[in-house]
Structure 1
């Protein structure tokens, strides 16, 4: 019998973001780069601070489907550095996505924003982050992205 997939919430990453930079339409879509300027990580087993570097590299397809690839790091409260690569998609009604682009508030429940974070660290206490798969549900706000990270059990 195949095991049933279950998930467990392990922590929330709140990543503060800077002003959007655009490289324009590259032929594959509009390339946007959004700096990650800091933030926090809060959970039962992991707590820390998002490092003030890294970015989310996005391609906005003509259908307004947004492909995301964020690369950044966080430092745990006990000094471990964890590198993060987080790939995913964001999609929803075009009028709501346009509001998000303008920095206007949108109910996160109306936007599909899911990611697959991958973690790397050399700190033994947090090696479990490299030994499991994770999925996340995220919400974009004007100045931050809130990412609820779930471990696939």
Structure 2
């Protein structure tokens, strides 16, 4: 029998976001690019989200949103960690449309889950590359809050 899967909360990434750029309907959905403009990391790791990168989204006709964000953060002790975060966001169409307009929506009503992968050459944070992580996220008008959990 395989080991049971469990998770433990590790840290939260709060990514400030810029204005949405839309490339339009591409045949598989509407392509959107959302710049990442900074932010913070708090929890077992503390630091700041660096002001570059973006979330590349495809919005399917039923409002199912495929996400792929690429960015980096710098820890308080000087390590740079590259993040590639793929996932999905889904919920009632009227609530997702409110989010698109920047209106507040209770995050509990939207399914927003991701699988972040991390890369770094800093020895103190190599453990980020040696584990699988899952995250629960919430979209707000000016930021995305991502609670990262380690699969143990």
Pair in the same fold by TM > 0.5? yes
Shift of 1:29: 0.3
**How many pairs are equivalent?**
152
Distance 1:3 1:106 in 2: 37
Distance 2:102 2:129 in 1: 34
Query: What RMSD, in angstroms, separates the aligned Cα atoms of the two structures?
Result: 0.4
Distance 2:43 2:109 in 1: 25
> Which stretches of structure 1, 4 residues or longer, exceed 2 Å deviation after superposition?
none
- Aligned counterpart, 1:76: 75
Q: Within 5 A, what are the aligned runs for 1:19-30? A: 19-30=19-30
Identify unmatched segments of 5+ residues in structure 1.
Answer: none
- For residues 111-137 of structure 1, what are the alpha-carbon distances to aligned partners after superposition, in whole Å with 9 as ceiling and x for unaligned? 000000000000000000000000000
Distance 2:22 2:2 in 1: 45
Alignment TM-score, normalising by the size of structure 1: 0.99
Aligned: 1:119 with 2:111: no
Aligned: 1:34 with 2:58: no
Q: Within 5 A, what are the aligned runs for 1:4-153? A: 4-44=4-44, 46-153=45-152
